[in-house]
């Protein structure tokens, strides 16, 4: 019997957390009330206090839950040349955003609203962004030294441009719920034009980035 009660308790907690995350995402911290969370989760307000003590603790629990997927496994790059590494890293970023659209939407909404609460989460997201941009710049720099990319390429600027373009695709999905195929087309176009711009074409070979 106790096992069933524990399961029910966990399910109720998860339902409260999911509902609160959705409301914080759409309405912001200040405009989300515990009464509204209780109503939409179909639980009592007392049950929310039993699990989370306060609105602030509920918010931070939602934040931690949202942050769980925030990492990108760069082990996938092992054994690849610089051109393939750049393309793969862009794919990893896109896949992450596509698979965690709700989570990304949560943080974008906080940034757009300049919420008073989100320092912990935004610091984590900013760190992920910084690491990703640094990884892209490092790969481009390595490609320059190995002759895969043009000697006059500015690795830092190219990495920043890639991130700005990916960020634009992300914002488009956030603002318009764009269908994944269209976003994927944009990502493929980004990879193609990037390699055309920075790669050293193979002698006698096809234009950099185009399929044979």
Q: What is the pLDDT of residues 75-110, one digit of tens each?
A: 678 788 999 999 998 888 888 777 776 667 766 666
Q: How far is CA 59 from CA 22, 24, 27, 69, 180, in A?
A: 11, 8, 13, 17, 30
Q: Please report the pLDDT score of residue 208 as a whole number.
A: 45
- CB-based contacts of 131, cutoff 8 Å, min separation 6: none
Pick the range with the lowest mean pLDDT from 28-32, 173-177, 178-182, 193-197.
178-182
Alpha-carbon gap, residue 140 to 198, rounded angstroms: 9
Asked whether the whole model's pTM tops 0.85, one would answer: no
């Amino acid at each position: 019997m106790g096992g069933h009660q524990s399961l029910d308790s966990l399910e109720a907690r998860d339902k409260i957390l999911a509902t609160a995350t959705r409301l914080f995402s759409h309405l912001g911290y200040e405009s989300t009330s515990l009464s509204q969370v209780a109503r939409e989760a179909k639980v009592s307000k007392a049950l929310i206090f039993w699990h989370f003590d306060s609105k602030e603790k509920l918010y931070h629990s939602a934040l931690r839950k949202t942050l769980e997927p925030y990492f990108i496994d760069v082990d996938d790059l092992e054994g690849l040349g610089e051109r393939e590494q750049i393309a793969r890293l862009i794919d990893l970023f896109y896949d992450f955003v596509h698979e965690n659209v709700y989570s990304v939407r949560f943080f974008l909404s906080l940034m757009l609203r300049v919420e008073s609460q989100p320092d912990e989460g935004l610091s984590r997201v900013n760190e992920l962004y910084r690491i990703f941009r640094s990884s892209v710049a490092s790969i481009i720099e390595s490609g320059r030294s190995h002759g895969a990319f043009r000697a006059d390429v500015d690795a830092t600027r190219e990495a920043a441009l890639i991130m700005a373009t990916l960020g634009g695709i992300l914002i488009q999905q956030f603002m318009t719920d764009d269908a994944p195929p269209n976003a994927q087309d944009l990502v493929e176009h980004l990879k193609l034009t990037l390699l055309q711009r920075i790669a050293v074409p193979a002698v006698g070979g096809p234009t950099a980035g185009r399929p044979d």
